[in-house]
Amino acid sequence: MRYSDPVLLFLGILFGAVGTGYFIYGKRQTSATYLVTGVLLMIFPYFFSSLAAVLLVGAALAAAPFVIERFA
């Protein structure tokens, strides 16, 4: 992540906060789906430097537990 871009920094913090919430929820409810998604949301911004990639991957990861639990 290029920390010189404030939008990417903000999105990294935002998705990290959502990931932390998912991680805590998954730990308390013993849900592996939320636990793994939370970890992925916390670390994925370090691997992408494109705004579009961060938005798409972050939105997909944030929605993943709901989609998985609905169709599983």
Residue 47 placed within a domain: yes
Residue 63 placed within a domain: yes
Residue 25 placed within a domain: yes
What angle, 0 to 180 degrees and rounded to 10, lies between the N-to-C axes of helices 6-29 and 51-71?
20
Residue 61 placed within a domain: yes
pLDDT tens track for 3-52: 568 889 999 999 999 999 999 999 999 999 999 999 999 999 999 989 99
> What residues make up the domain containing 33?
6-71
Residue 1 placed within a domain: no
Q: What sign for the dihedral angle of Cα 36, 72, 66, 55?
A: positive
Number of domains in the chain: 1
Q: Are 46 and 35 contacting, i.e. CB atoms less than 8 angstroms apart? A: no
pTM for this prediction:
0.89
What Cα–Cα distance (Å) separates residue 51 from each residue in 12, 40, 42, 55?
A: 10, 17, 16, 6
Residue 67 placed within a domain: yes
